């Protein structure tokens, strides 16, 4: 059997083993997270949307609070996010659960503005010293995009 044909057969066997045996034994939990569009603004040539997510503890131990898709000439070119991080051990116990706004405001949590790039899914742009307001985040993002 030729090398290419043999490699193709091995891929099919691997796919079948992973696809059927693993899929039948693993449970996956999908968490539905609601979001709403809260703003739309321009910074120079950049067009920025703003989405606010309901605070739900995600499987990886974070809370996605805001997303800012950035467009230039009608094409999506950048993505910014505000994630909230807490104690991973505690967050793991409550994954998939909604948290109250007062929990976000009164707990000792880490608030980060991040950019998702091809190389870095969580490139940290800014660490907020205290719970930021939406206006503060918008101002910081506008300053970043105007450079």
Q: Per-residue confidence at 89, pLDDT binned at 50, 70, 90? A: confident
Task: Tell me: do 26 and 52 sit in the same domain.
Answer: no
Region of poorest pLDDT, from 62-66, 69-73, 94-98: 94-98
Q: Which domain holds residue 104?
A: 35-145
Task: Tell me: do 39 and 24 sit in the same domain.
Answer: no
Q: Given this model, what pLDDT does residue 30 score?
A: 62
Task: Tell me: do 98 and 116 sit in the same domain.
Answer: yes
Report strand pairing: 35-43 vs 110-116. unpaired
Angle value at C-alpha 23, between 22 and 28, nearest 5 degrees: 115
Task: Tell me: do 4 and 72 sit in the same domain.
Answer: no
Predicted model pTM: 0.76
Task: Tell me: do 77 and 107 sit in the same domain.
Answer: yes
Task: Tell me: do 125 and 55 sit in the same domain.
Answer: yes
What pLDDT, in 10s, does the model give residues 14-55? 333 333 333 334 444 566 778 999 999 999 999 999 999 999
């Amino acid at each position: 059997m030729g090398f290419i044909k043999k490699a193709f057969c091995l891929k099919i066997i691997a796919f079948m083993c992973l696809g059927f045996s693993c899929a039948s034994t693993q449970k996956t939990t999908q968490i539905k997270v609601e979001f709403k569009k809260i703003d739309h603004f321009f910074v120079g040539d950049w067009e920025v949307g703003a989405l606010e997510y309901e605070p739900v503890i995600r499987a990886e131990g974070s809370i996605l609070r805001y997303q800012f898709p950035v467009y230039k000439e009608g094409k999506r070119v950048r993505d910014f996010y505000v994630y909230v991080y807490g104690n991973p051990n505690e967050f793991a116990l409550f994954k998939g659960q909604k948290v109250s706004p007062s929990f976000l405001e009164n707990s000792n949590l880490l608030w980060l503005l991040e950019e998702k790039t091809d190389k870095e899914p969580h490139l940290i742009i800014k660490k907020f010293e205290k719970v930021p307001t939406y206006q503060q985040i918008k101002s910081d993002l506008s300053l970043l995009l105007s450079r």
